Amino acid sequence: MATQYEIEHNIKAAPATSHRRRQVDMSTFTAHLHNLLPDSTPSTTTQSSSHEQQHNNPHAVPNPADTSALFRLLQDQMGTLATTAPNETNRAFLESLVETLELDVAHPPQQIEGVTQEVLDGLDRVPRKTLKDDDTCPICAERYLDDPYCLVVELPCHGSHRFDLECVGPWLRGKGTCPMCRKEVGKRKAVVVEPAEEEEEEEDDMDGLYA
C-alpha cells in the first residue's frame, strides 16, 4: 500500500535505497486500526458496503482487548526506536511516549480518541525549501532532507512541532494529541462561527417580518 507521501508525490514505488533507516514499519498498526474502525482508511464501494453491514450499530465500541493490542503495537514501535536512539534527547522523548501508552495498554479507553484520516491528510505541510539541513523528526531523529521525498507536517498546536507524517501519523490516529505538548490536534480548527451565522439568519428573518 502506498504511503501518503508516495501518493502526494505521485511515486509508483518506494526508492530502492531507504533513506529512513530508523523508520519502523507501521503497517500492522494501520491494519489493526482499520479492523477496529473500518472507516479509518479509504476503501472501495464494495468494501464500504461490507463494513457497513458488519458494523451497523452506531453505538458499538471496540473490544477492550483489541484496543489494548492497538496501543501495544504503537508502544512496541516507539520502544524499538528508543533502543536505537542516536542521542539521549531522542531516547528520553520516545521513552516518555512509551510510558504514556502504558496506561492505554493497561486500561484501554472505551473509544479510540485519535484523529480521523481526513484530519491527518489536512495537516499543514512544511515546504521542503523551508527546512534546514539539520532539522530532524523528533520521533525517528532522521534529518528530513536526507529523504528526497520527505513529507513533513506542522501540528496546529505550535509552529515548531513538526514531524515526518509517516512517524507521527500512527500516534495521532491512536491518541489524537501532539506527541510533544499533548494538546489535542484538530481542536483549534474546530472553532465554528455557526452561532454568528445563525444570528445573521435570524436578523434577516426579523427584517422580513417588518418589510
Contacts of 160 (CB under 8 A, 6+ apart): none
pLDDT band at 54 (very low <50, low <70, confident <90, very high): very low
Residue 162, strand partner residues: 154
**149 has pLDDT over 80:** yes
160 pLDDT more than 60? yes
Specify whether the CB–CB gap between 75 and 98 falls below 8 A: yes
45 has pLDDT over 80: no
CB atoms within 10 A of CB 151: 22
* Closest-CA residue to 138 (of 188, 206, 99, 85): 85
Q: Which residue has the higher pLDDT, 197 or 36?
A: 36
**Residue-level pLDDT at 52:** 38
CB 164 within 8 A of CB 151: yes
CA–CA dist 192, 76 (Å, integer): 38
Report which of residues 62 and 94 the model is more confident about.
94
**Rounded to an integer, what distance in angstroms lies between the CA atom of residue 163 and that of residue 152?**
6
Give yes or no for a contact between 101 and 182, defined as CB atoms under 8 angstroms apart. Answer: no
Give the model's confidence band at 90: pLDDT under 50 very low, under 70 low, under 90 confident, else very high: very high
Is the pTM here over 0.75, yes or no? no
Residue 5 has pLDDT above 60, yes or no: no
Q: How far is the C-alpha of 33 from the C-alpha of 36, rounded, in Å?
A: 5
Tell whether the model's pLDDT for residue 20 goes beyond 90.
no
